[in-house]
Amino acid sequence: MEQVEQDPDFVTLSRQFKATAMELISVLEQKQKTGGRIKVLLETLPLHKLADIFVASFEMSLEEQLSMLDSVDPKIRLSKATELVDRHLQSIRVAEKITQKVEGQLSKSQKEFLLRQQMRAIKEELGDNDDDEDDLAALERKMQSAGMPSNIWKHAQRELRRLKKMPPQQPGYNSSRVYLELLADLPWQKASEEQELDLKAAKDRLDCDHYGLSKVKQRIIEYLAVRKLKPDARGPVLCFVGPPGVGKTSLASSIAAALGRKFVRISLGGVKDEADIRGHRRTYIGSMPGRLIDGLKRVAVCNPVMLLDEIDKTGSDVRGDPASALLEVLDPEQNKSFNDHYLNVPYDLSKVIFVATANRVQPIPPPLLDRMEVIELPGYTAEEKLRIAMQHLIPRVLDQHGLNSEYLQIPEAMVKLVIQRYTREAGVRNLERNLAALARAAAVRVAEQEQAVSVSKDVHKLASPLLDNRLAEGAEMEMEVLPMGVNNNEISTAFKISSRLVVDEAMLEKILGVIIPHKLFSFIWMFT
């Protein structure tokens, strides 16, 4: 051994081994604090024992161990040991590189999250927490004041805790936030103050809003009377059935006004997906609550009058049956804990007053029909339409267009003509639309006249002394002297006399169009 230690080749080899081993020790030293001892060992051990002692502490395969044992020549042993140590060093380096890379990616978002938390803490310390960062705190405050039942409050708090732990970039942060916002926005307890129901006032209101319909009004008054005597009575759900434009929606809104409650309309026409009523589960991308919960959020009270419009137009297909979901909604036994898939907690719908409308009874599934009381509105006769138009539609249309009877007069005979020639419907919606067209035409004329009056003022202002003289002398107005910037047309309209527009047959034809031949024929056919 002494001999071999003198060998220059062996000395070089051992130096190389020492260098590699030292490197490995320094790498390991960062992880374990035991490196110092090994370093001392490396310095003090006789060179020929170095390889054996070092290599013994490595994990290696059986073949490698055998080949180590096999090599008797110290030089070969040392070079094999160097190779082993080097390999070990390389593998540690590669592993380190990979972990560094992964840590780098992870820590970027974690660092951001940490910094944000720190920033929040600093702001809180400074009492300077009025910006967006604090919207989670604002959300929490909103949730606290939402008046949730205790079990739902617990559920919401759990979700909020999860949200607080999430960094804002994490997928799911936003959906969780939107969900909590909905929980906070829903009217869990907030109700519109129910006034003492005055049946006389309710009757007056119904009479004031609607002409005729005495039986329907009578039934509504009975319904209201029962509610007055027993506010939590589980009365039937009223369902107004009739053609379009007979006043189904407006009757429902009159009920809401009579009860002093808010009114919300949910359109069910064309709804084929059960999720439209019950919402999508939150696991779906873009999931949202059903229309009922959405309507309640919009109206922001838990006891509105909710109109389920066009309940006969719901259909069923592979996506489920909305009618069966509606069954649960309308059943007073079940709607205490209505389960919206998105909301995922029960919501009490029992304070909502439901009213439904439909065009026909036949398409409504029998179990659903069973839960409702059908009130038929068959449509109006021509005489009824005339009365409705004169008493309700014309004043309303004029008001909507900023006019009054001083500007536009629609004589009864002309309304009759509109009913006979231009509308053929059970309701009065087209009639209202045609009257609105007349009002629009009148509005254009009135607006033009107002402009003309202002132009005429300008004319006086701009008029030259010559024009003034002529006016003073009472001379005939001529277009001789034209003030600059006022054209011929403006001058001519400037002296029009404003007058009330009375609708006549010619005007009807001009505004509503020439009566269409097939309509005319069927009209003639009707009376022959």
Residues that bind ligand ADP (CB under 6 A): 210-213, 244-250, 357, 388, 392, 427-429, 432
Residue with smaller CB distance to ligand ADP, 25 or 393: 393
Q: 75: helix, coil or strand?
A: helix
Q: Least distance (Å) from ligand ADP to the CB of residue 524?
A: 28
Give the contacts of 313 (CB within 8 A, at least 6 positions apart). 268, 269, 270, 271, 358, 359, 363
Cross-sheet strand order for the sheet of 305-309: 263-267, 305-309, 353-358, 237-241, 372-376
Six token digits for residue 97? 């590189």
Reference 435, options 376, 501, 389; nearest CA is: 389
Residue with smaller CB distance to ligand ADP, 357 or 434: 357
Beta bridge partner(s), residue 501: 408
Q: Which residue is nearest to ligand ADP (CB)?
A: 247
Q: Least distance (Å) from ligand ADP to the CB of residue 380?
A: 7
Q: Least distance (Å) from ligand ADP to the CB of residue 312?
A: 13
Residue with smaller CB distance to ligand ADP, 212 or 346: 212
Torsion-angle region of residue 344: left (phi > 0), alpha (psi -120 to 50) or beta? left
* Strand ranges (E), 156-232: none
Residue with smaller CB distance to ligand ADP, 67 or 249: 249
Residue with smaller CB distance to ligand ADP, 236 or 244: 244
- Check if the beta carbon of residue 242 is closer than 8 Å to that of residue 274: no
Helix-helix angle 150-165:173-185, to 10 degrees: 150
Q: Least distance (Å) from ligand ADP to the CB of residue 249?
A: 3
205: Cα separation from own chain's centroid: 34
Six token digits for residue 151? 């079990």
Residue with smaller CB distance to ligand ADP, 210 or 341: 210
Residue with smaller CB distance to ligand ADP, 430 or 498: 430
Q: Least distance (Å) from ligand ADP to the CB of residue 428?
A: 5
Give the contacts of 282 (CB within 8 A, at least 6 positions apart). 175, 179, 341, 342, 344
- Distance between CA atoms of residues 528 and 516, nearest Å: 18
Q: Least distance (Å) from ligand ADP to the CB of residue 318?
A: 31
Residue with smaller CB distance to ligand ADP, 273 or 309: 309
Residue with smaller CB distance to ligand ADP, 303 or 423: 423
Residue with smaller CB distance to ligand ADP, 149 or 244: 244
Six token digits for residue 242? 């009739």
Q: Least distance (Å) from ligand ADP to the CB of residue 357?
A: 6
Q: 80: helix, coil or strand?
A: helix
Residue with smaller CB distance to ligand ADP, 155 or 429: 429
Residue with smaller CB distance to ligand ADP, 294 or 432: 432
Q: Least distance (Å) from ligand ADP to the CB of residue 512?
A: 18
- Distance between CA atoms of residues 372 and 354, nearest Å: 10
Q: Least distance (Å) from ligand ADP to the CB of residue 502?
A: 24
65: Cα separation from own chain's centroid: 70
- Distance between CA atoms of residues 156 and 185, nearest Å: 12
- Check if the beta carbon of residue 377 is closer than 8 Å to that of residue 216: yes
- Distance between CA atoms of residues 138 and 181, nearest Å: 10
Give the contacts of 246 (CB within 8 A, at least 6 positions apart). 377, 378, 379, 380, 426, 427, 428
Residue with smaller CB distance to ligand ADP, 187 or 245: 245
Q: Least distance (Å) from ligand ADP to the CB of residue 377?
A: 7
Give the contacts of 220 (CB within 8 A, at least 6 positions apart). 202, 206, 238, 251, 254, 255
Q: Least distance (Å) from ligand ADP to the CB of residue 393?
A: 6
Give the contacts of 41 (CB within 8 A, at least 6 positions apart). 53
Q: Least distance (Å) from ligand ADP to the CB of residue 470?
A: 53
Parallel/antiparallel/unpaired status of strands 346-347 and 353-358: unpaired
Q: Least distance (Å) from ligand ADP to the CB of residue 235?
A: 21
Q: Which letter, b or e, does each residue of 4-21 get, where b requires 16 or more Cβ atoms within 10 Å of its Cβ?
A: beeeeebeebbeebbebb
Q: 474: helix, coil or strand?
A: coil
